[in-house]
Amino acid sequence: MRKKNVPIQGLWTSKWAFMLATAGAAVGLGNIWKFPYITGENGGGAFVLIYLLCVVFLGIPIMVAEIAVGRHGRGNPAVSFFRVAALSHRSKMWSAVGYLLILAGFLILTYYSVIAGWALDYVFKAASGIFDHASAAKIDGLFENFIHDPEQLILWHTLIMFFTIFVISLGVQKGIEKAIYIMFPGMVILLLILVGYSIDSGFFGQGLAFLFHPNFAKLTPQNILIALGHAFFTLSLATGSIMMYGAYLPKNISVFKSAIFIAVADTLIALFAGLAIFPLVFAHGLNPGEGPDLIFKSLPLAFGHMQYGHFFAVLFFVMLVFAAFTSAISLLEPSVAWVIERFNWNRAQAAILVGFIIWVLGFSTVFSFNIWQNVKIFGLTFFELIDYLTANIMLPAGGLFTTLFVAWAVDKTILHQELPHVNKIIFNAWFYAMKFFVPVAIFLVLLNVLGVI
């Protein structure tokens, strides 16, 4: 293995480049597509509260750890684990955790690109005016016809993968940074416009109450697991993305402050997305627990009956594409960096090869909605299986191992080098939380999912 002397793939040109790229990785379909519908399915306020607690007490500490390991290791996650373990005189086997993270990100992209493709298709549907004054039956039919047509889904999935591969093949500064500078601010502006529009709907109070009024009677252990899995997913933890972007972080930037900024930005955007969506859903008497179809059925229906809805529907789906795209590139980078560093390939070749494999594997998600919709493994379609396996098992497990590595295996001087100038009390609070609280909490939730408790 050529792990010791591989050169670093790039460095962010500034602190903001890193912050925006990482926030762009974090903000994605998870915030705008998944968070609203799982909040709807899991009963609203109480679920949101658990999710917020998971972000603050588990997500931020792990994010600090991932960035620190990435920056110290300066390579793809497998290399970073390998190097940091070697410097700490620990077993090189720790690099297996790096592989677990890379694999999780790789698998997520196989379906992520397909769903991002739906959003792209919906930009064109919205622009065509097809939602205007349409009945619920018509909008349902549009969506059902769409997902039952594998060729359509493959077309949009192909376009998303094509652009993702293109940006990644241009590299850290010329590719990722450039795309982020356009798309991240664009997405935030569009979202704020949409929240304003939603305030205007007259049902804003109901949306607020749904998100923030907790009803603990509805909370089950399963909800807690979903909240935890989602906290990892939405922060892009345990997928290699954050650790990879951390590897490109110049030394003089504070890891702690960056992690807090990213988590706050990600959470605010999820809440704003909820505030943009739920009032419109309520204004039209629709059901917030609709499921994955929520933004593809309820929202177009709502937009179709609102003033200027045609225009705002286009803005909404463009925003969703921007959000999804900045995440897709962060999902591809770790496995591409691995191929480059492991086999000495050039970037474009590596991006095309890895992207191609992901594109092909994505067909399993495409077919889960049509020709393979009755093919079930453990009662789940391929898409549901990959989603369950990654969000609810691989991410918590990856987070758990990363935590154990940082708190129990890594030499403490390395942590001090990566977190200089951090107030002693804060450092210790973080360190001891990582040693005991975080792993125990994740472990309990994992046992629960496996049915042990």
Binding site for ligand PHE (CB under 6 A): 25-26, 28-31, 105, 108, 233-234, 236, 239, 241, 327, 330-331
Q: Which is nearer to ligand PHE, 31 or 381 (CB)?
A: 31
Residue 238, token pair as written in the block: 């345990």
Q: Which is nearer to ligand PHE, 204 or 325 (CB)?
A: 325
Q: Which is nearer to ligand PHE, 169 or 327 (CB)?
A: 327
Rounded CA gap, 100 and 78, in Å? Answer: 9
**Amino acid present at 339:** V
Contact in structure between 84 and 252 (CB atoms under 8 Å): no
Rounded CA gap, 106 and 101, in Å? Answer: 9
Task: State the alpha helices, DSSP H only, in 27-176.
Answer: 29, 35-41, 45-54, 60-73, 77-87, 95-128, 136-147, 150-170
Rounded CA gap, 300 and 308, in Å? Answer: 12
Q: Which is nearer to ligand PHE, 108 or 295 (CB)?
A: 108
Rounded CA gap, 330 and 28, in Å? Answer: 11
Smallest gap, in angstroms, from Cβ of residue 399 to ligand PHE? 12
Give SS3 for 228.
helix
Q: Which is nearer to ligand PHE, 29 or 336 (CB)?
A: 29
Q: Which is nearer to ligand PHE, 231 or 301 (CB)?
A: 231
Smallest gap, in angstroms, from Cβ of residue 368 to ligand PHE? 19
Smallest gap, in angstroms, from Cβ of residue 250 to ligand PHE? 22
Smallest gap, in angstroms, from Cβ of residue 96 to ligand PHE? 19
Residue 194: half-sphere exposure toward Cβ, Cα within 13 Å: 33
Q: Which is nearer to ligand PHE, 234 or 364 (CB)?
A: 234
Residue 197, token pair as written in the block: 């529009």
Residue 28, token pair as written in the block: 């994605």
Sign of CA pseudo-dihedral 226, 446, 338, 244: positive
Q: Select from 385, 337, 379 the least CA-distant residue to 361.
A: 385
Q: Which is nearer to ligand PHE, 331 or 419 (CB)?
A: 331
Rounded CA gap, 69 and 374, in Å? Answer: 43
Smallest gap, in angstroms, from Cβ of residue 300 to ligand PHE? 21
Smallest gap, in angstroms, from Cβ of residue 78 to ligand PHE? 16
Smallest gap, in angstroms, from Cβ of residue 230 to ligand PHE? 8
Rounded CA gap, 423 and 140, in Å? Answer: 55
Residue 151, token pair as written in the block: 């060729």
Smallest gap, in angstroms, from Cβ of residue 161 to ligand PHE? 15
Sign of CA pseudo-dihedral 140, 145, 150, 155: negative
Smallest gap, in angstroms, from Cβ of residue 263 to ligand PHE? 11
Name the residue whose CB lies closest to ligand PHE.
30
Q: Which is nearer to ligand PHE, 223 or 239 (CB)?
A: 239
Smallest gap, in angstroms, from Cβ of residue 331 to ligand PHE? 5
Greatest extent of the chain over all pairs of C-alpha atoms, in Å: 66
Neighbours of 119 (CB within 10 A): 25
Q: Which is nearer to ligand PHE, 38 or 139 (CB)?
A: 38
Which DSSP string do the residues of 332-383 spell out, in sequence order?
Answer: HHHHHHHHHHHH---HHHHHHHHHHHHHHHHHHHHHHTTTTTT--BTTB-HH
Q: Using alpha carbons, list the distances in angstroms from residue 222 to 211, 249, 294, 378, 449.
A: 19, 37, 21, 17, 7
Q: Which is nearer to ligand PHE, 95 or 236 (CB)?
A: 236
Whats the size of the chain, residue-wise?
453
Smallest gap, in angstroms, from Cβ of residue 240 to ligand PHE? 8
Contact in structure between 79 and 3 (CB atoms under 8 Å): yes
